[in-house]
Amino acid sequence: MNIELLQGTLEVTENPGLETIDPRLSDIATLMQDGKYEEAAAQSEAILEEQIYDIRIIGYSLYGHFIEQGVGAMADIYQCLANLLRDNLDALGPVKNREKHIQTILTWMMKQLIKKLQREEAKNTSIYEGWISEVSSDQVQEALDAGDELRRTLGPVLEDAAGSVLDGLMKVNDWLTAFQRLVYREPEPEVEEEPEEREEVEDEIEEAPRKEKKGGFLADSSFVDDGEGVGIEGSFHLKLLIRKLQAFDYLISKKNFSSAALIADDINSIIANFDPKVYFPKLFTRFSFQFAANINELFAFEEHKNSVEWQAMQELYKVDLESFVNFDSEGINLGASGEAGDYEEPEPEPDEHEDIHDEEEPSPEESDEEGGETHEDDEW
């Protein structure tokens, strides 16, 4: 599909869109229902070339564009929809029940997208393998950013009716987020002016885990110092965040406060949901590996978090990390509070006038069966 047909400012006519009785509409809907997406998209494009901007036809065309181009086209599809709803709403038909038609076709489109994405992934088809080899992490991020823009546009247009569309959009974006992690590739290191000095620093970092201080504490200067000279490699997400921070600073300097406010909203959302493992994955690689490899031994202490021994060691950990690491904890038995602290909490004596009965938990109530009509996702 030539997506440029829907870009820019569209001409507004008195009665945009197709008449309900126009046979072309039912013909295209039948082709879509039969799975003949490319043919339906071609017929839809012919209508758009006549400058007939019917949102139902547009939905079919954009889905056909996805079938043809794959995941790499998601950013263009999202941007196209956002521009249409934000800048060209009056050019879209049909005028009668316009918002309802928009809600219906976009809900259908999101359902079709997530079904197609999940189906290709589950079967590990050649199409899915093509997406993995051809689509970059940057392209997926562009799609996610465009999806956020579409999400912000849907609210003012559909208001309360936006729920089903936003639901589908969120599912598609969740899939894209997982796919982005799959296709992410570490960038090749840049050539620096002093490679020899860089190599020496890297050698020191590699050898650090094998050096030990007296008492067994790791003599890694990057661990015990205040962080001076520590190089932590960030992920693609960190680099993108830095670009956004720079863009915000630039827009403020240019007094472009409307655009700066949009970026500020995005950055504040990132801060509120900040996950360091996403932005500094390599920093947590060894921890995650060691934690997984020793999960049984570590989990054995889970039930002792409220013991006085645990709390005493926790206080030492808070005030002096180095002393905590060098501390000999062999004499402390986290599993037996009475032995370590010479204190046993007395068991309460039963009241001789009181019968002791085991209380039975109430039976869970039966949940109501969900009703409602079942609709085929592929039907219009």
Half-sphere exposure of 106 (CA within 13 A, CB side): 31
Torsion sign (Cα): 39, 43, 48, 53: negative
pLDDT at position 199 is: 58
- Here the tokens at position 378 are 């592929």
pLDDT at position 99 is: 94
Q: Which residue has the tokens 């928009």?
A: 102
Contact predicate 54/92, CB 8 Å: yes
Predicted model pTM: 0.52
pLDDT at position 228 is: 46
Return per-residue pLDDT of the chain as tens, 380 residues: 788 889 889 989 888 888 878 899 889 989 988 988 888 888 998 999 999 999 999 999 999 999 999 999 999 999 999 999 999 999 999 999 999 999 999 999 999 999 999 999 999 999 999 999 999 999 999 999 999 999 999 989 998 888 999 999 999 999 999 999 888 877 666 655 555 555 554 555 455 444 444 444 443 333 333 444 445 666 778 888 888 888 888 888 888 888 888 888 888 999 998 888 888 888 888 888 888 888 888 888 888 888 888 888 888 888 888 887 888 777 676 654 443 334 444 455 444 444 434 444 444 334 444 444 444 444 44
pLDDT at position 345 is: 44
Q: Which residue has the tokens 């219009």?
A: 380
pLDDT at position 285 is: 81
pLDDT at position 84 is: 94
Contact predicate 113/167, CB 8 Å: no
CA torsion angle 117 107 377 375 (round to 10)? 150
Q: Cβ atoms within 10 A of the Cβ of 81, count?
A: 26
CA angle at residue 139 from 135 to 140, to 5 degrees?
Answer: 90
Please, which residues bridge with residue 22 across strands?
none
pLDDT at position 337 is: 42
CA distances from 371 to 24, 50, 163, 368, 374 (A): 35, 44, 20, 9, 9
Domain borders along the chain are 3-183, 284-335
Contact predicate 251/263, CB 8 Å: yes
pLDDT tens digits along 82-112: 999 999 999 999 999 999 999 999 999 999 9
H or E element at residue 365: none
